């Protein structure tokens, strides 16, 4: 899908008199339109003062190429279509434009009997579903006015091994374990911000991605967000830490440091972890908790 050419042609077709100043296009769009002009002759270039303009010569040829680039050009897809299906129609790619799915599915497990209740009055026996099925799933939709909520603690973990078993969890109280993958989705953060729980704990990998996820959680939840440090984390970091993981997540680490700078004074243990990571050049994965 030649996005610069499609965008340039759409701008040209919409321009008054079929003439468009080159300054209205990005460099990549100008280059794509230059190549299209030389290849088809459907567009001509003319000097205009210190600049230049593109002018339509054969509108039919341009329309034909727009249809090839985007089959639904000139029509609007059914608004009930999934976003990614509509994108295929517009750009021949599911990732053209906004390509998030309408719903996000969150996997949950219960230790003990955390209470979940829907705004419409239903209750969810998460413990029963965990025992019967191994886990439960909630569909989180941005358009849903009513949601499932809990007052019980929620723990967020990013690797399946820790979702599969509970023997690493501290304490004995009722909690909900939620499994995300990689980066915390904005939709999940929105949902968490509407939870009644005053205790939402993130236990990520101790690397740039994990710290950046905590920054984003902290920005949304404030003091309700907690970063959990496993027992003996200093010895584990030194013995089992990875320099490769540290190097690979430096971009996220630097972004996290800029955002957390003003709050680390209130979290001395987290500051200590960050300092040890910087001195050692190591990052540590969650699964080290069993070592």
What average pLDDT does the chain have?
A: 85
Q: Do 107 and 191 belong together in one domain?
A: yes
In a domain, 18, yes or no: yes
> Per residue in 120-169, pLDDT tens?
999 999 999 999 999 999 888 766 668 899 999 999 999 999 999 999 99
Domain containing residue 30: CATH number: 1.10.10.10
Per-residue pLDDT at 88: 44
Task: Band the pLDDT of 71: cuts 50, 70, 90.
Answer: low
Per-residue pLDDT at 290: 96
pLDDT score of 183 more than 60: yes
Q: Do 177 and 244 belong together in one domain?
A: no
pLDDT score of 64 more than 50: yes
Question: Which range, of 21-25, 79-83, 113-117, averages the lowest pLDDT?
Answer: 79-83
> Per residue in 26-59, pLDDT tens?
888 888 888 888 888 889 888 877 788 998 888 8
Residue 51 three-state SS: strand
Range of the domain at 257: 230-291
Domain termination site, one of 23, 54, 69: 69
Percent of the chain with pLDDT over 70: 86
Q: How far apart are alpha carbons 210 and 31 in whole angstroms?
A: 40
Beta strands in the chain (DSSP E): 19-21, 43-48, 51-56, 104-111, 116-118, 123-124, 136-140, 148-150, 154-157, 175-179, 200-203, 225-227
Helix, strand, coil shares, percent, the chain, to 5: 45, 20, 35
Count the domains in the chain: 3
Q: Do 114 and 196 belong together in one domain?
A: yes
- Exposed (0-12), middle (13-18) or buried (19+): which is 262, by Cβ within 10 Å? exposed
> Per residue in 237-278, pLDDT tens?
999 999 999 999 999 999 999 999 888 888 999 999 999 999
In a domain, 41, yes or no: yes
């Amino acid at each position: 899908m030649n996005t610069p050419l499609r965008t340039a042609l759409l701008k040209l077709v919409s321009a008054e008199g079929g003439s468009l100043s080159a300054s209205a296009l990005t460099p990549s769009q100008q280059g794509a339109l230059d190549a299209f002009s030389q290849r088809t002759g459907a567009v001509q270039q003319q000097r205009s003062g210190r600049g230049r303009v593109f002018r339509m010569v054969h509108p039919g040829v341009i329309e034909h190429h727009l249809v090839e680039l985007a089959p639904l050009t000139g029509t609007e897809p059914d608004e009930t279509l999934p976003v990614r299906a509509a994108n295929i129609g517009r750009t021949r790619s599911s990732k053209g434009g906004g390509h998030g799915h309408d719903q996000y599915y969150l996997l949950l497990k219960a230790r003990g009997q955390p209470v979940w209740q829907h705004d419409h009055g239903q209750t969810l026996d998460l413990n029963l579903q965990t025992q019967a099925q191994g886990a439960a799933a909630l569909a989180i939709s941005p358009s849903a006015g009513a949601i499932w909520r809990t007052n019980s603690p929620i723990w967020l973990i990013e690797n399946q091994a820790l979702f599969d078993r509970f023997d690493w969890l501290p304490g004995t109280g009722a909690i909900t374990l939620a499994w995300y993958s990689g980066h915390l989705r904005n939709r999940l953060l929105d949902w968490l911000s509407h939870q009644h729980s005053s205790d939402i704990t993130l236990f990520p990998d101790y690397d740039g991605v994990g710290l950046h996820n905590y920054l984003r959680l902290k920005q949304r939840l404030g003091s309700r967000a907690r970063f959990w440090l496993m027992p003996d984390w200093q010895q584990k970091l030194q013995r089992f830490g990875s320099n490769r993981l540290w190097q690979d997540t430096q971009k996220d680490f630097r972004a996290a440091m800029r955002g957390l700078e003003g709050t680390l004074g209130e979290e001395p243990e987290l500051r200590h972890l960050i300092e040890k990571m910087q001195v050692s050049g190591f990052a540590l994965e969650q699964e080290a908790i069993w070592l």
